[in-house]
Each structure stands twice: as C-alpha cells, then as structure tokens.
Amino acid sequence: MLNLNSLRFPRFEFPADLAPLRAEVREFLAQELEHYSPLVRSYSWDGIDPEFSRKLGARGWVGMTLPKEYGGHGRSALERYVVVEEVLAAGAPVGYHWVADRQSGPMIARLGTEAQKQTILPAIARGEACFAIGMSEPNSGSDLASVKTRAERVADGWLVNGTKIWTTLAHRANYMIALLRTDSSSDSKHRGLSQFLIDLRAVKGISPRPIRDLTGRGHFNEVSFVDALLPPDALLGNEGEGWKQVMAELAFERSGPERYLSCFVLLTQLIDVLKGRASATALAKIGAEVAWAASLRNMSLSVAGMLNAGLDPSLQASVVKDLGCHFEQRLPGLAQELVALEPALAGSGVDYQQVLGNLIQLAPSFSLRGGTLEILRGIIARGLGVR
C-alpha cells in the first residue's frame, strides 16, 4: 500500500542563527577560490587539493559533527549541511577529505573502537585524512553482496586476499574501509561480510593500480590484496554485520546536496555565456533547469530537516538523488543544444568550453557511483510498496 507521507517533502527553513556561518563560509571561499579557474571548480568532489582540505579543517568545517573529545566540533548536521552546500555550489576542491567527512568519519564515530576513534577522528577533523571505499570488485558491482575478497582470521590478525575495483583515490588515501568476506560457509551471501578499517600505509601486500577514466585522468583504482595482514583490531563494527553497516553507509551517500550540485558550475557558466544572446526558447530551457534547481534545493533541504528531526527520510533521499542525477546529466546536453561553442580540453577554448568538456565526460559516472540509477530506482520502488 502506497504511503504518501513517505513521498512528501515538508518545507524546512534553516534556523536563522545559521546565517552567520553561511556568510563566513562564503567569505572564506571567495578568498580561497579566487584563483581557481572554472574548469578546476567543475571537478567538484573529484577535485583533490590537500592544502584546501587542511585549510577548511583549520576553520572547523571538516568533521563538524564528530564529538569534541576526538577532535571534532560537536556541531549539528544542519551546520554541516550549510558548509557542504556552500563548498559544492562554489566548486571547491573537496575530494581529498570528502569521503572521510561524509561517511567514514561518522561511521568510525558510531562503530569504531576507542583506539580507532582516537587515532583517526582527529586527523579527519583536521582535513588531513583521505579515505577510500573498498566495496566493488571485478565481479561484484551492483550485486554488492557477492563480494569475494576474503579476510581470514589468523593468529596475528586477518589475512586478506582478493581484488577491489573502482576504488576512488586508493593511490592517495591514508585509509580504506573495505567490505570483505569473513565467512564463506554462510547460506546467505549477505551474512559473512564484515567491514575493515585499513591503514594503507602500514599494511603490506596492498597494491593500487590506477585506472584511467575516459577523461584520461586517474582517480580510481584496481586494488589487489595479496596476503595482506591486517592487525586484529582492523575490524570495524561487528564481524558478520558488514552488509547492514554498508547499507547504512550508503544512506549517507544519498542524503546530501551533492547529487544536484556537482554540475552547478556549468549552469552558472551557461547562464553567463547566454547573456545578451538568448532566444526565447533558450531562456525557457534554462529557466526550466533553474526551476529544477529550486525544486531540488527545497527537496534536499527537506531531507536534511527530516534527518535533523530524527526521522528516516530514506525514500525521499533516494528520490532526490534520482532527480538530481537526471538534472546533472541533462545539463551538458542542453548546453550543447543552446550554445554553438564546442566542448574543449583543458588548455584550449574559453572557460565555458573547458567546463563543458569536463562535465560532458564526467556525467556518465553520476548515475553509477554510490549505486547505479537502476539500483536506486529499485529502492524507490520498494518504498512505493511494489517490491
């Protein structure tokens, strides 16, 4: 039976006392990003700049919700939301700390041992920790529960063998949180999975091999584990509960504003290029996307508000990600329809052409990473009660 309430997005208004924070972040970004080209800004959360991440951390804007006793700032999820939407809309290079801030940090704070929290959370809050997510494998993509990389309990820890793939930033990250099989005998493939927190610099036998994506850049990797010995305390959370933990982790991925804001630079560039030469049809098409942006922001805010109120807006979050994804994937095509300038590689053409060239190529990944659109829509269908 369809529950309409799970598809409603109650209006959420930011508390007025968050306005100063927004102003501070804007001022900081205006200064820090002054010399970043539009192209670099269009890398968005693929933009890697450890120096920027460190500066953001120094302002207290990374790991904001982590407890103070672990170097965090004990601030609300809403305060973090303000910072995140501002950095994304500005196209700040948040890639270095992105995963740690969004999902790894909160997960460690929730599930980690005291030692794990003390060692890692302060580094995350300083913006100095870069995390990779070891989920997909060569033969396990959308069917994530079929992962085969094994972690075998041995006398002095866990012995890991297997291969992870599409692991973003594994070649630069300090840590990886990996989903590994700890029990192959279990009847259900969902049971027998566990998560591990791996210090990539301390453990031997882990080799990332960068895979160039279609843009020619190498941000993701195939990571092979050959008799990699993890210390006994590398287990994150409980043995055998990896699936449940991963599902909760992926919910973090779906709930933020990133799914409609990573192409925002293209929309702003397109608007500027059209200025003074837009036909009525072009205005109408741009306007329709602006209406989408307004709708998506209201929806995304609503999800943030529901989370803040302790509700479970998982269906609404999936809907926002689905719609946001289509919004972002439409923009490059629309830009080419409205403006005759050809997309260009870095170093040629004007800014608009470079941004377009970059985002045309990145767009296919938007509906793949963090779960494909097909999986996402399956989740929505389940929420509608038809699965």
Given the structure tokens 């991963």, which residue do they identify?
246
Q: Which is nearer to other proteins, 344 or 379 (CB)?
A: 379
| Residue window 210-249: x/- pattern of binding to other proteins, with contact defined by CB under 8 A | ----------------------------------------
Site string for other proteins, 49-88 (x = CB under 8 A): ------------------------------------x---
Residue 331 CB neighbours (<10 A):
22
- Sign of the four-CA dihedral 240, 242, 245, 251: negative
Query: How far is Cα 116 from Cα 1, in angstroms, rounded to an integer?
Result: 44
Least distance between other proteins and beta carbon 18 (Å): 11
As measured in angstroms, the least distance from the Cβ of 369 to other proteins is 19
Residue whose C-alpha is closest to residue 162's, from 186, 135, 187, 189 = 135
| First vs last C-alpha separation in the chain | 11
Q: Closest approach of Cβ 305 to other proteins, in Å?
A: 12
Q: Are 265 and 38 in contact (CB under 8 A)?
A: yes
* String of DSSP letters for 334-374: HHHHH--PPP--TTSS-HHHHHHHHHHHHHHHHTTTTS-HH
Instruction: Find out whether 206 and 223 touch, Cβ atoms under 8 Å.
Output: yes
4 binds other proteins (CB under 8 A): yes
Alpha-carbon distance values, 291 to 31, 363, 366 (Å): 30, 20, 21
Task: Identify whether the C-beta of residue 387 lies closer than 8 Å to the C-beta of residue 267.
Answer: no
**Residues forming the active site:** 253
Nearest Cα residue to 271 out of 351, 199, 195: 351
Which of 179, 198, 306, 380 contacts other proteins by CB under 8 A?
380
Widest pairwise Cα distance in the chain: 72
Residue of the chain from 11, 35, 201, 204 that contacts other proteins (CB under 8 A): 11
Beta bridge partners of 185: none
Residue among 40 and 111 whose Cβ is closer to other proteins: 40
Q: Looking at the chain, how many residues does it have?
A: 387
Task: Centre a 10 Å sphere on the Cβ of residue 287 and count the other Cβ atoms it contains.
Answer: 11
What x-and-dash track marks residues 99-138 binding other proteins by CB under 8 A?
Answer: ----------------------------------------
Q: By CB under 8 A, what part of segment 260-319 binds other proteins?
A: 264, 267-272, 274-275, 278, 280-288, 290-299, 302, 316, 319
Minimum CB–partner distance for residue 277 and other proteins (Å): 10
At 157, give phi and psi (nearest 5°).
145, -135
- The minimum distance between CB 379 and other proteins, in angstroms, equals 8
Alpha-carbon gap, residue 131 to 170, rounded angstroms: 8
- Shortest reach from residue 112's CB to other proteins, in Å: 35
18-47 mask for other proteins (x: CB under 8 A)?
A: ----x-------------------------
Q: Which residue type sits at 292?
A: W
Give the nearest distance from C-beta 22 to other proteins in angstroms. Answer: 8
Size of the site for other proteins (CB under 8 A): 55
Q: What mask of x and - would describe binding to other proteins in positions 346 to 375, judged by CB under 8 A?
A: ----------------------------x-
Q: Name the one range near other proteins by CB under 8 A: 110-118, 200-208, 232-240, 376-384.
A: 376-384
Asked if 378 interacts with other proteins (CB under 8 A), we say yes
Q: Give the residue with the Cβ less far from other proteins, 204 or 387.
A: 387
Minimum CB distance to other proteins, residue 385 (Å): 7
Asked if 202 touches other proteins (CB under 8 A), the answer is no
Q: By C-beta, is 71 or 313 nearer to other proteins?
A: 313
Q: How many CB atoms lie within 10 A of CB 276?
A: 6
Q: How far apart are CA 387 and CA 374, in angstroms?
A: 14
Tell me the C-alpha distance between 257 and 297, whole Å.
Answer: 8
CA distance 222 to 208: 6
Binding residues for other proteins, rule: CB under 8 A, are: 2, 4, 7-11, 22, 85, 89-90, 264, 267-272, 274-275, 278, 280-288, 290-299, 302, 316, 319, 322-323, 374, 376-378, 380-381, 384-387
